[in-house]
């Protein structure tokens, strides 16, 4: 445990001391939030008003801002929890490139402790950056219209931690096969560009082609995004109902903005969304453990 603790602190310090990696990772969620507000905020507001108008109901501007803010905020968190994890895992790849990984192999440090230290350091770094994004999002929602209950706040923190763990497990498996700085840079660029679309964050699944929506329902990240949508938009939708909106409109909002997602035509309950994400984390962690065990065995031979 002493070796693991020392390696964990060492990996976290290496990331936070590298200003060229740390500051872009920290600022990326805040910049993304600003870009969403500045360039896409009106698009989502108009879409929300359009859904309400189709039911013959006019939403107050505060309700529109709360729902749109919850969508933007949850989208940001669901993407950053994975993309930041890939950035945080550069420490593992850099150790291979610079020769530190080979140095560890000739020290008394257990190789399992080395592998676990990389994993948990990535998780702590990702969770730290996501906590900053979470705080910024709460401040933004408090500014435009706060409709979150204490339970919503608590569960959004739990969902963010679970998504950070998913991102850590996924990036650990992928980065296990990388042995060059160019390789990890290419993977980071690909994940940053594609993951938001693959998890249903950038566009509601209801606006996609049916075959594509069904394909995305097979990916666990989709359910993590849906959980955050429900936590951060659900309170505003409930408040809209309290103000007189029909139940059909609330259901349409939840379905149209992915608070509720479907698996081949069947609505997925919240417990099943948690189960899908948890099973994906367990499977990826198990795969990472197997990959590390195989590598350790080969080096011993």
CB 178 within 8 A of CB 185: no
Quick one: DSSP state of residue 18? -
CA distance 95 to 110: 16
Comparing 18 with 11, the larger pLDDT belongs to 11
pLDDT at residue number 141: 87
Whole-prediction pTM value? 0.88
Comparing 295 with 164, the larger pLDDT belongs to 164
The least confident of 4-18, 93-107, 281-295 is 93-107
Quick one: DSSP state of residue 202? S
Outline where DSSP puts E strands in the chain. 262-263, 266-267
Q: State the average pLDDT for the chain.
A: 83
**The pLDDT of residue 261 is above 90:** no
Angle 219-223-224 from CA coordinates, rounded to 5°: 110
pLDDT at residue number 52: 86
CB 227 within 8 A of CB 274: yes
Report pLDDT digits (tens) over 40-90: 777 888 888 888 888 888 888 888 888 888 888 888 888 888 888 888 888
Confidence of residue 113 (pLDDT cuts 50, 70, 90): confident
Return the top range by mean pLDDT from 1-5, 287-291, 292-296: 287-291
pLDDT at residue number 123: 94
pLDDT at residue number 147: 87
Report pLDDT digits (tens) over 170-223: 999 998 888 787 787 788 778 877 887 778 777 788 778 888 888 888 889 899
**The pLDDT of residue 273 is above 90:** yes
Torsional class of 18: left (φ above 0), alpha (ψ -120 to 50), beta (otherwise): beta
- Angstrom distances, CA of residue 20 to CA of 24, 61, 187: 7, 41, 18
pLDDT at residue number 2: 79
Residue boundaries of the structural domains of the chain: 2-300
């Amino acid at each position: 445990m002493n070796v693991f603790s020392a390696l964990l602190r060492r990996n976290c310090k290496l990331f936070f001391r590298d200003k060229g990696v740390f500051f872009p990772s920290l600022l990326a969620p805040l910049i993304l939030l600003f870009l969403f507000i500045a360039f896409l905020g009106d698009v989502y507001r108009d879409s929300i008003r359009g859904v309400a108008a189709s039911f013959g109901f006019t939403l107050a501007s505060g309700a529109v801002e709360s729902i749109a803010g919850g969508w933007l905020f949850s989208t940001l968190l669901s993407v950053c929890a994975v993309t930041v994890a890939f950035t945080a895992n550069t420490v593992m790849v850099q150790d291979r490139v610079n020769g530190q990984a080979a140095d560890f192999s000739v020290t008394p440090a257990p190789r399992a402790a080395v592998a676990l230290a990389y994993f948990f350091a990535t998780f702590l770094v990702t969770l730290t950056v996501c906590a900053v994004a979470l705080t910024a999002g709460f401040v933004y929602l408090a500014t435009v219209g706060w409709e979150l209950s204490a339970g919503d706040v608590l569960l959004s923190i739990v969902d963010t931690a679970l998504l950070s763990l998913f991102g850590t497990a996924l990036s650990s498996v992928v980065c296990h096969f990388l042995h060059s700085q160019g390789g990890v840079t290419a993977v980071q660029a690909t994940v940053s560009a594609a993951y938001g679309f693959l998890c249903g964050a950038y566009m509601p699944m209801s606006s996609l082609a049916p075959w594509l929506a069904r394909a995305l329902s097979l990916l666990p990240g989709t359910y993590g995004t849906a959980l955050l949508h429900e936590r951060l938009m659900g309170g505003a939708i409930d408040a809209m109902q309290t103000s007189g909106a029909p139940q059909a409109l609330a259901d349409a909002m939840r379905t149209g903005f992915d608070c509720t997602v479907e698996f081949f035509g069947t609505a997925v309950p919240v417990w099943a969304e948690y189960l899908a994400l948890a099973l994906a984390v367990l499977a990826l962690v198990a795969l990472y453990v197997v990959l590390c065990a195989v590598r350790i065995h080969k080096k011993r031979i």
